[in-house]
């Protein structure tokens, strides 16, 4: 989607939300905010955390939720690689950078800023404190930007409710040392913040603010509970190029680049607890909905783990073979071109042999993963195939039990404790030979394509060139 369409959608949300809150505001002010949001959210690495995402997370019924969603991902240092230049004026008075790390300034460059103090209080951040990427850095910085951009439009009492929603999007948190859930902690913090800064919020408004934050936070991670694992994995694949920027190089990334991206995601999925994904606070959502969200997330995580492990084992064979050609071989050389399904070069797997007795999935989980490997994720993406022809063949050949048996040896190869040739020697010899021959066929097709217009020079032409 182009900038103008995203801009109009974002502006429409801002107009709707301010009207819903009965705030009188000049449309030029909203246009300025919409432009800043969209410019940031359409950065070159934004595949998943995009304008579409913030519009979806905000929902369509609550103005505070809509506003919070528009800002909640506006800072994402790991995706953008930096803090976007247009946002630095809102952060520079409060934040400083030192050797790639961000710290809260010990002393603000200007007079005391009440809104910043409110944000820092809700996020429990102190002067001089270092901000860490996985414990709220991006959400805290996004909340500061939101507060400063909304300052001319909304009262502090409304802004603090927006900030509370953004704070709630810090994901995957456990209970506090006192046994409080993140939402209960936010509730207590909102009450003390309300009293300290004289925000005049009623107990009912504070309670509703936390319930609102739960709704927003659950929509933010809602993809984990998608009823289709194919859609869930499509979302997962959209996340890969955001923090693995080599994948955005139009097919020139290496076999290892691809493996490292999948490996990082596999590690994340392996240790993620389904109970830490979704929030519940005093009946929001009700038990039936909450338990369904957790159970579906648990199921999707199980599927993702087996899917990713299978791809890692299969691609380990490909990576080990690629090292015979060099350490920087593009994946497209070994697999075929991703962008053109009708390429004359073809793709790895076009001529895999038909197995007489292929492995048959034995469990519901195996059946689902097999369908995803053979049938593909819900949507394609430019840097990879939608289906997994190599992994599908490897699973047909050795089964999911074979994948599990090879997993440890695969990790040793990735960690460098065994060589690529030692790893290949530990694999089924016939399987390696089949994959190797398929890659060789692709390389031969490239040779034929390269030489198709080649014409040997005549002897007279050679003599003429030598004379010249």
159: Cα within 13 Å, side-chain hemisphere? 24
The tens digit of pLDDT for each residue in 344-389 reads 678 888 889 999 999 999 999 999 999 999 999 998 888 888 999 9
Indicate left, alpha or beta for 177 from its phi (over 0: left) and psi (-120 to 50: alpha). alpha
Dist. CA 124–CA 176, nearest whole Å: 13
Average pLDDT on 140-146 reads 98
Dist. CA 123–CA 164, nearest whole Å: 9
Answer yes or no: is pLDDT of 250 > 70.
no
128-142, 280-294, 354-368, 376-390: the lowest-pLDDT one: 376-390
Dist. CA 24–CA 30, nearest whole Å: 11
The tens digit of pLDDT for each residue in 425-466 reads 999 999 999 999 999 999 998 888 888 766 666 666 655 656
Q: Are 14 and 33 in contact, with CB atoms under 8 Å apart?
A: yes
pLDDT grade, residue 108 (50/70/90)? low
So what's the pLDDT on residue 76? 97
- The CA-based angle 97-98-104, given to 5 degrees, is 50
Q: Are 49 and 41 in contact, with CB atoms under 8 Å apart?
A: yes
234 alpha-carbon distance from chain centroid: 10
Closest CA to 67 of 123, 104, 26, 23: 23
Q: Are 220 and 65 in contact, with CB atoms under 8 Å apart?
A: no
What is the pTM assigned to this prediction?
0.93
Peptide bond connecting 169 to the previous residue in cis, omega within 30 degrees of 0: no
Sign of CA dihedral 397, 400, 405, 406: positive
Residues sharing a CB contact under 8 Å with residue 245, sequence separation 6 or more, in sequence order: 45, 81
Dist. CA 2–CA 134, nearest whole Å: 31
Whole-number average pLDDT of the chain: 93
Answer yes or no: is pLDDT of 150 > 60.
yes
């Amino acid at each position: 989607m182009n900038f103008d369409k995203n801009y109009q959608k974002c502006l429409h949300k801002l107009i709707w939300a301010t009207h819903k809150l009965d705030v009188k505001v000049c449309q030029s002010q909203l246009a300025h905010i919409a432009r800043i949001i969209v410019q940031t959210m359409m950065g070159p690495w934004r595949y998943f955390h995009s304008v579409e995402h913030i519009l979806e997370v905000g929902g369509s019924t609550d103005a505070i939720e809509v506003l919070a969603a528009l800002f909640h991902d506006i800072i994402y240092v790991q995706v953008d690689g930096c803090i976007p230049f247009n946002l630095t004026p809102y952060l520079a008075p409060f934040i400083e950078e030192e050797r790639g790390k961000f710290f809260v300034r010990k002393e603000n460059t200007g007079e005391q800023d009440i809104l910043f103090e409110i944000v820092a209080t809700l996020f429990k951040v102190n002067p001089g404190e270092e901000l860490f990427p996985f414990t709220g850095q991006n959400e805290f910085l996004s909340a500061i930007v939101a507060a400063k951009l909304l300052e001319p439009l909304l009262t502090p009492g409304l802004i603090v409710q927006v900030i509370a929603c953004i704070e709630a999007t810090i994901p995957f948190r456990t209970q506090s040392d006192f046994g409080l859930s993140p939402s209960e902690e936010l509730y207590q913090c909102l009450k003390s913040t309300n009293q300290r800064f004289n925000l005049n919020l009623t107990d009912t408004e504070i309670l509703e603010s936390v319930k609102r934050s739960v709704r927003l936070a659950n929509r933010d991670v809602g993809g984990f509970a998608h009823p289709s694992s194919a859609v869930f994995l499509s979302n997962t694949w959209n996340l890969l190029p955001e923090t693995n920027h080599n994948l955005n190089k139009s097919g020139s990334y290496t076999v290892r680049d691809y493996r490292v991206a999948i490996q990082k995601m596999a590690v994340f999925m392996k240790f993620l607890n389904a109970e830490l994904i979704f929030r519940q606070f005093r009946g929001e959502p009700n038990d039936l909905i909450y338990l369904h969200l957790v159970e579906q997330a648990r199921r999707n995580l199980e599927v993702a783990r087996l899917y990713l492990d299978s791809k890692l084992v299969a691609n380990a064979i490909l990576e080990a073979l690629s090292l015979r050609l060099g350490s920087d071989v593009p994946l497209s050389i070994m697999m075929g071109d991703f962008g053109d399904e009708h390429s004359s070069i073809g793709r790895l797997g076009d001529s895999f042999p038909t197995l007489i007795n292929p492995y048959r999935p034995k469990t519901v989980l195996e059946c689902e993963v097999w369908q995803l490997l053979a049938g593909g994720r819900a949507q394609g993406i430019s840097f990879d195939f939608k289906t997994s022809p190599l992994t599908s063949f490897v699973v047909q050949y050795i089964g999911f039990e074979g994948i599990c048996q090879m997993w440890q040896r695969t990790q040793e190869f990735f960690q460098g404790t065994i060589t690529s040739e030692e790893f290949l020697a530990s694999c089924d010899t016939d399987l390696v030979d089949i994959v190797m021959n398929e890659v060789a066929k692709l390389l031969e097709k490239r040779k034929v394509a390269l030489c198709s217009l080649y014409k040997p020079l005549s002897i007279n032409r050679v003599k003429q060139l030598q004379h010249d």
